């Protein structure tokens, strides 16, 4: 059977799925597994891996039809790192065995993923990372520290980049692995944030063992593989699908409408500008997703993520200022370790504090500006005096 190419063909497949597995009477996990088997998880993936080998643009048709039928989703916010970062990287670089083992439980949410990239001395300059992996027979023994790891406290698996050759320049001596978070050599510790909670973690790896069968890509190709992850991460953060006046602008607009006594001409003008910027960013996100339907993510995702961070901080700042003394009240500074970040269900003070991380996570705004300057605008690269030095000779 050839891959479907039209919305009508995909709707027929969705109708078959719903007829055979009525969402009203089918267990949630069973329905998700049936959707995977029908190739309607991500239609652009190959047959047998949750897809149909169909154009990516048809995924929106599937999602709309299933949402209208009341079918359960896979809680994409909870498993966002797996869906947005691990899955496209495994698809691009994984072996057949790795794809068969990891993609289905990743998509159904049976296994949560986290990202072990950043380190205390290698955040914006990821290629400077120092976590070491040495070969020991059929295994790699990994030692080092990772930081700012979202969902590490709930994750079953992690995507990990480690240094396997310190004698070559930093970009050439890294290798990419799939790390079992239940290994006895993996320790997760909470990082309490300015919000009071510990959404992030630091992860210590002490002689953690990873089978060579869980290496993704060739030895020394970690930087190349990681670029696929990072490009998809920035797209996932910066171009989420939201309705008009959805997301942060919707919350701030509701706050405005709830307090007519605080309205001023200056505040109205500021909010109007932010509303227009939000709508422009939303429409740009739609365009980016349409482009992605026909190819892999490029530097445009960096621009979207940069704009998202700036706008999120501007909106949360406006909301706190608009509420005046009420905006300074902070409802709950209890130490918890949440599975999800709840921007919209919390108070203005939480949104203001949490938004500060938007310009750091997924690539700092400074690094993203460099990417845009060099890869989009064609400006000269910044001088990189350490580019050809062996990693072991870099100053620390």
> Where in the chain are all domains bearing CATH 1.20.140.10?
227-376
Q: What is the DSSP letter of 137?
A: T
Report the pLDDT value the prediction gives residue 264, as an integer from 0 to 100. Answer: 97
With 0-12 CB in 10 A as exposed, 13-18 as middle and 19+ as buried, what is 224? middle
322-353: pLDDT as tens digits: 999 999 888 777 788 887 777 777 889 999 99
3-class secondary structure, 265: helix
3-class secondary structure, 187: strand
> Where in the chain are all domains bearing CATH 2.40.110.10?
83-220
- Select which of 197, 199, 233, 319 is catalytic: 233
227-376 CATH pick, 3.40.1650.10, 1.20.140.10, 3.40.50.720, 1.10.8.50: 1.20.140.10
Instruction: Flag residues of the chain having pLDDT under 50.
Output: none
With 0-12 CB in 10 A as exposed, 13-18 as middle and 19+ as buried, what is 343? middle
Report the pLDDT value the prediction gives residue 312, as an integer from 0 to 100. Answer: 95
pTM comes to 0.87
38-61: pLDDT as tens digits: 999 999 999 999 999 998 889 989
What DSSP letter does each residue of 309-340 carry, written as one string? HHHHHHHHHHHHHHHGGGGG--S-------SS
83-220: CATH number:
2.40.110.10
By C-alpha distance, which of 222, 120, 80, 112 is closest to 164? 222
Place of tokens 């063909």: 9
Q: Are strands 139-146 and 157-163 parallel, antiparallel or unpaired?
A: unpaired
To the query of whether residue 325 is one of the catalytic residues in this protein, the response is no
């Amino acid at each position: 059977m050839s891959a479907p190419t039209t919305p009508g063909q995909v709707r027929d497949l969705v109708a078959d799925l719903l007829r055979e597995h009525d969402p009203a009477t089918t267990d949630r996990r069973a329905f998700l597994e049936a959707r995977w088997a029908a190739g309607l998880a991500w239609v652009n993936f190959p047959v047998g891996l949750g897809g149909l080998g169909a154009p990516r643009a048809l995924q929106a048709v599937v999602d709309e039809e299933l949402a209208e039928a009341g079918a359960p989703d896979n809680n994409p916010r909870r498993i966002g790192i797996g869906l947005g970062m691990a899955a496209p990287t495994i698809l691009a670089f994984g072996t057949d065995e790795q794809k068969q083992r990891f993609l289905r439980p990743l998509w159904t949410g049976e296994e949560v993923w986290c990202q072990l990239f950043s380190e205390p001395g290698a955040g914006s300059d990821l290629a400077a990372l120092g976590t070491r992996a040495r070969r020991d027979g059929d295994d790699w023994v990994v030692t080092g520290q990772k930081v700012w790891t979202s969902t590490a406290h709930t994750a079953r698996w992690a995507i990990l980049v480690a240094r396997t050759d310190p004698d070559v320049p930093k970009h050439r001596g890294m290798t990419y692995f799939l790390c079992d978070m239940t290994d006895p050599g993996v320790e997760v510790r909470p990082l309490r944030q300015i919000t009071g909670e510990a959404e992030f973690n630091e992860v210590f790896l002490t002689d953690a063992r990873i089978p060579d069968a869980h290496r993704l890509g060739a030895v020394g190709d970690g930087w190349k593989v990681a670029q696929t992850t990072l490009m998809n991460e920035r797209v996932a953060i910066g171009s989420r699908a939201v309705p008009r006046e959805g997301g942060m602008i919707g919350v701030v607009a509701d706050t405005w409408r709830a307090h007519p006594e605080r309205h001023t001409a200056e505040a109205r003008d500021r909010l109007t500008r932010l509303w227009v910027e939000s709508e422009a960013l939303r429409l740009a996100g739609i365009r980016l997703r349409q482009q992605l339907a026909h190819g892999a993510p490029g530097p445009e995702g960096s621009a979207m993520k940069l704009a998202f961070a700036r706008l999120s901080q501007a909106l949360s700042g406006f909301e706190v200022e608009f509420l005046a003394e009420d905006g300074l009240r902070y409802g709950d500074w209890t130490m918890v370790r949440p599975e999800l970040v709840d921007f919209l269900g919390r108070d203005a003070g939480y949104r203001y504090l949490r938004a500060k991380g938007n310009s750091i996570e997924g690539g700092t705004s400074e690094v993203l500006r460099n990417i845009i300057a060099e890869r989009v605008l064609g400006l000269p690269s910044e001088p990189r005096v350490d580019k050809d030095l062996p990693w072991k000779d870099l100053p620390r």
